[in-house]
Amino acid sequence: MDLFTLTAPIFDQAMRISGHHKTLVELADRVKRAEAEKDKKDREKSIKLLDLGGGTGEFVKYLPDNFAVTIADPSSAMLEKAKNKKYGKKVEPVLADGAALPFADEQFDYITISDALHHFRDVSSALTEAHRVLKKEGILFILEFDPAAFLTKIIIFFEKIAGEPVNFFNPPDLAKMIGNNSLKTEHEYLNKAIYIMSAKKIL
């Protein structure tokens, strides 16, 4: 039994108790802001977003109802929780590994990876796959912990005990990895430990 099978029943409650759900609100605001900045002629009635490593789908409830969301995650226990939620929008949970996504090229307007990248066993392949399935001028948003922060060091300690990957990156190193896939990046810290990286797929 893996870590996520054990934690799935209490994952959402733990997020709320810790206050970490507030960072999901911030992430959703970045997505909504990016969509609002598009020319009206470029806006679609249904915007396709891939929540990669989306787990129980907690992030999805902060998105507007005109978003069609695909939650991709390798944990069936997490996705089972996602399936039982009511969202008020089109949501499709898909069992998938980030390093080998079962989607055609250029399918999504936005991709989000919220507090999940460090769990990926093959980060480089996952970023390449994200680039592949992202539409031209689409945006990848990554919410992550800075490895230099004290909080992150605590997380690393316990996740190593649990046998989880601990692939944390500081913004410059992550930007370099993303830039290798022709994505233009910028980042912003939400607090001393957590930042949001945005990466636009350039033509």
> φ, ψ for residue 161 (rounded to 5)?
-60, -40
Q: Quick one: angle between helices 123-133 and 171-179, nearest 10?
A: 50
Strand order in the sheet with 47-52: 91-95, 67-73, 47-52, 108-114, 134-145, 194-201, 183-189
- Sorted by where each starts, the structural domains of the chain and their CATH numbers stand as 3-35+47-201 (3.40.50.150)
pLDDT, one tens digit per residue, over 83-139 is 988 888 899 999 999 999 999 999 999 999 998 999 999 999 999 999 999 999 999
Contact between 26 and 190 (Cβ < 8 Å): yes
Identify the pLDDT of residue 120: 93
Identify the pLDDT of residue 1: 47
The structure's pTM equals 0.88
Q: Across the chain, what does the average pLDDT equal?
A: 88
Q: What is the pLDDT along the chain (203 residues), one digit of tens a residue?
A: 455 555 555 555 555 645 677 899 999 999 999 999 887 666 666 799 999 999 999 999 999 999 999 999 999 988 998 998 888 889 999 999 999 999 999 999 999 999 899 999 999 999 999 999 999 999 999 999 999 999 889 888 888 887 788 899 999 999 999 988 888 999 999 999 999 999 999 87
